[in-house]
């Protein structure tokens, strides 16, 4: 669906830069277009059901339209479904909900908060890559490691959901996962949704969080190794520290309920005993991985 799809003043490709539209203007244009399409062009019926797909700002557009459709009858709702990826308004994890206390920032004309509703009765699937800085931002900003990792996740993960495509970098894969691995991972998560914490159900929404195999925070080191042909140094180094860093970064998150609107919080709730035990194990795992990289053998 064509709409403005820009975010002034950010100079990223396709965002419009200084000549682009501001966030609320862009979102409003998308809401108007999508609403018009649903009422006119597509007009969902039992014989012609419609799935609305939204990615990044498009997920914000879809979220607002979903909220507006809450007044439909149950029969009408049954003919519509939503699939959201990289959703800035994911209730627990979306950057725009983390910053909810800002409200509307006039200079950006961007409204924070407004989490995607889960009480409309319209079937919705919300998919995010772990550590995507737009859809999976830390709960506790005091954890600077987690913050930096999420910012790196914006750079390395957020733009890869639809890779490979004509705009992808050569060899780019979604979240670094080949299609077969990605498909099997998602299938496994969804099949075990009642017990797998990576799949959660809240109201009318199913949340799927796909694990990220490599921390985006360490990706520059991996890239440096590839560019300089020094992977024999950088790969063992990264694999040595990654498990422990992952434990520390996860203390910046509260993943108890992805459907509960959760702005930034100040005091982490991680159990220090659990973190210590996990950290000791992670250090051992890192040593084993580094030794395997160097010798080809697992201790």
What would the two tokens of residue 3 be?
Answer: 């709409």
Q: Give the torsion through C-alpha atoms of 217, 222, 223, 225, to 10 deg.
A: 140
Report how far residue 124's alpha carbon sits from residue 102's, in angstroms, rounded to the nearest whole number: 27
Inter-helix orientation angle 23-36/57-68, to 10°: 50
Active site residues: 56
Q: How many CB atoms lie within 10 A of CB 203?
A: 13
Report how far residue 63's alpha carbon sits from residue 56's, in angstroms, rounded to the nearest whole number: 11
Q: Do strands 199-202 and 123-129 pair parallel, antiparallel, or not at all (unpaired)?
A: unpaired
Q: Specify the DSSP class assigned to residue 48.
A: B
Judge whether 268 and 142 are in contact, CB under 8 Å: yes
What would the two tokens of residue 257 be?
Answer: 């309920």
Report how far residue 116's alpha carbon sits from residue 258's, in angstroms, rounded to the nearest whole number: 11
Separation in Å, CA 52 to CA 1, 32, 122, 212, 279: 10, 14, 11, 26, 42
Q: What are 48's strand-pairing partners?
A: 45
Vertex 213, ends 212 and 216: CA angle to 5°?
65
Report how far residue 115's alpha carbon sits from residue 63's, in angstroms, rounded to the nearest whole number: 8
Could you tell me which of 152, 155, 160 has the C-alpha nearest to residue 217?
152
């Amino acid at each position: 669906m064509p709409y403005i799809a820009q975010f002034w003043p950010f100079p990223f490709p396709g965002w419009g830069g200084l000549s682009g539209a501001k966030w609320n203007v862009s979102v409003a244009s998308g809401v108007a277009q999508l609403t018009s399409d649903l009422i006119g062009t597509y007009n969902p019926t039992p014989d012609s059901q419609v799935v609305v797909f939204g990615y990044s700002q498009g997920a914000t557009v879809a979220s607002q339209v979903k909220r507006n459709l809450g007044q439909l009858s149950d029969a009408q709702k049954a003919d519509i479904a939503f699939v959201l990826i990289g959703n800035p308004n994911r209730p627990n994890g979306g950057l725009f909900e983390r910053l909810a206390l800002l409200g509307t920032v006039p200079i950006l004309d961007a409204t924070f908060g407004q989490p995607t509703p889960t009480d409309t009765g319209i079937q919705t699937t919300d998919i995010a890559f772990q550590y995507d800085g737009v859809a999976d931002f830390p709960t506790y900003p005091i954890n600077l490691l987690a913050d930096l990792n999420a910012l790196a996740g914006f750079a390395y993960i957020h733009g890869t959901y639809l890779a490979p495509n004509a705009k992808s970098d050569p060899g780019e894969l979604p979240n670094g996962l080949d299609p077969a691995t990605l498909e099997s991972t998602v299938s496994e998560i969804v099949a075990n949704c009642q017990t797998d914490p990576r799949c959660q159900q809240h109201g009318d929404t199913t949340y799927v969080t796909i694990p990220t195999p490599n921390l985006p925070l360490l990706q520059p080191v991996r890239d440096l190794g590839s560019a300089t042909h020094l992977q024999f140094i950088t790969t063992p180094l990264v694999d040595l520290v990654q498990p422990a860093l992952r434990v520390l970064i996860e203390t910046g998150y509260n993943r108890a309920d992805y459907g509960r609107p959760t702005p930034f919080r100040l005091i982490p709730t991680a159990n220090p005993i659990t973190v210590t035990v996990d950290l000791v194990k992670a250090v051992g795992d890192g040593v084993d991985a580094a030794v395997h990289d160097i010798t080809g053998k697992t201790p």
